[in-house]
């Protein structure tokens, strides 16, 4: 831990999740002040208490619903300081069959995974650009690398989010702002408990936390697949000709 780390602040959007907690914990043990923004304040407070017990520093919790876009500015204005790094972990996989049948269900998935995160990080980007420093991390998904019948509503939203982060990175290059895209692949969390996940393709939340910290704070990449095997795998999937791909059950 350094004196410089003690002066830095991390804001985690989606801090009530397992991945959000793991990322926050990685920063906390490095001496950062951690702030959680959550929709479920009770769950966020539990994570904050756990992180505080491990790090010895209080972890403030702020309420934020990523779908309530008109509340973003007020939430940011209510922070005691503009954070040095913001990580957006929020998302909603939804149910593909329901999204196909119900436009409102599809809208929620699209807004939770693309519209809300993009608008919030865009607002953060303006404030970071005015200051001249900062790091922005978006947790996207391999599902956005190519549309598949099993989850194309969610995948489309994540594809949009990935493109947004790419454009933001391009725009802010050379202006002191680092923009990182993280694609975790499968992750062992409460949401996936009981599922048969492929071991080589499945990360623990702590792996995601370490990958985010390395990329955002140590300059170790800008588009990150947490498990390296995903990069060549997705290159192959993207290269499959459409006439073949459309007959595959994915």
Catalytic residues: 154
CB 179 within 8 A of CB 170: no
Q: Report d(CA 47, CA 248) in Å as an integer.
A: 41
Q: Report d(CA 137, CA 131) in Å as an integer.
A: 17
Helix count and strand count (H, E) for the chain: 11, 9
**How deeply is 162 buried, as exposed, middle or buried, from its count of CB atoms within 10 A (0-12, 13-18, 19+)?**
buried
CA distances from 129 to 6, 132, 221 (A): 23, 5, 21
* Alpha helices, H only, the chain: 3-6, 18-29, 41-55, 72-77, 96-101, 103-110, 116-131, 152-172, 205-218, 230-239, 242-245
Closest by CA position to 34, among listed 88, 89, 83, 90: 83
């Amino acid at each position: 831990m350094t004196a410089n780390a003690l002066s830095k602040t991390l804001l985690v959007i989606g801090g009530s999740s397992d991945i959000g907690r793991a990322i926050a914990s990685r920063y906390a043990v490095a001496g950062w002040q951690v702030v959680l923004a959550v929709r479920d304040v009770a769950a966020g407070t539990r994570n904050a208490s756990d992180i505080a017990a491990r790090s010895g520093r209080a972890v403030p919790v702020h309420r934020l619903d990523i779908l309530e876009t008109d509340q973003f500015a007020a939430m940011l204005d209510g922070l005691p300081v503009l954070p040095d790094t913001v990580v957006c972990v929020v998302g909603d996989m939804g149910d593909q069959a329901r999204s196909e049948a119900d436009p409102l269900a599809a809208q929620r998935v699209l807004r939770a995974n693309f519209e809300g995160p993009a608008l919030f990080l865009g607002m953060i980007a303006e404030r970071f650009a005015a200051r001249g420093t900062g790091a922005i991390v978006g947790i996207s998904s391999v599902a956005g690398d190519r549309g598949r019948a099993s989850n194309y509503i969610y995948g489309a939203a994540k594809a949009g989010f990935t493109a947004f982060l790419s454009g933001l990175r391009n725009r802010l290059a050379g202006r002191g702002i680092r923009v990182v895209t993280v694609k975790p692949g499968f992750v062992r969390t409460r949401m996936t408990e009981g599922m048969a996940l492929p071991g080589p393709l499945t990360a623990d939340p702590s792996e995601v936390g370490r990958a985010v910290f390395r990329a955002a704070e140590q300059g170790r990449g800008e588009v990150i697949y947490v498990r390296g095997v995903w990069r060549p795998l997705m290159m192959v999937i993207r290269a499959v000709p459409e006439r073949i791909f459309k007959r595959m059950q994915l």
